[in-house]
């Protein structure tokens, strides 16, 4: 799922993705790694903090839906794992930057 620029607030689209795709899986008792990322705009420190807040926002949302916190492992990666050429000093379009503002989910089978 993708994030609005400089935001760590889950929008309705993000909630729908979590509710439809992730919630049914974690309700079965599996654990999940929540990995949040930013684009390169802003300082490395600001982006690390933003990605940490994004990971926490997803975790808090899942807990509010009844998921046990012990199933959730969240980490922010800031701008360290860009998916495209949009690093410092490279001119990119808004849509190219948006690709990097994401949270991914990696399911772990606990059984």
- Give residue 23's pLDDT band: very low, low, confident or very high (50, 70, 90): very high
Q: What is the DSSP letter of 29?
A: T
Report the pLDDT value the prediction gives residue 110, as an integer from 0 to 100.
59
pLDDT tens-digit readout, 67-97: 999 999 999 999 999 999 999 889 999 999 9
Cα separation, 82 vs 9, in Å, equals: 21
Cα separation, 15 vs 9, in Å, equals: 10
pLDDT tens-digit readout, 58-73: 999 999 999 999 999 9
Identify the burial level of 76 via C-beta atoms within 10 angstroms of its C-beta, where 0-12 means exposed, 13-18 middle and 19 or more buried. buried
Q: What is the DSSP letter of 8?
A: -
pLDDT tens-digit readout, 29-69: 899 999 999 999 999 999 999 999 999 999 999 999 999 99
């Amino acid at each position: 799922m993708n994030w609005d620029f400089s935001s760590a607030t889950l929008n309705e689209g993000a909630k729908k993705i979590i509710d439809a795709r992730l919630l049914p899986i974690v309700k079965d008792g599996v654990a999940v790694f929540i990995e949040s990322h930013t684009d390169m705009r802003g300082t490395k420190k600001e982006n690390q903090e933003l990605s940490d807040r994004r990971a926490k926002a997803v975790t808090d949302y899942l807990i509010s839906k009844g998921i046990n916190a012990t199933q959730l492992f969240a980490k922010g990666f800031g701008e360290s794992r860009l998916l495209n050429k949009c690093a410092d000093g490279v001119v990119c379009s808004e849509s190219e930057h948006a690709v990097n503002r994401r949270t991914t989910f990696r399911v772990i089978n606990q059984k």
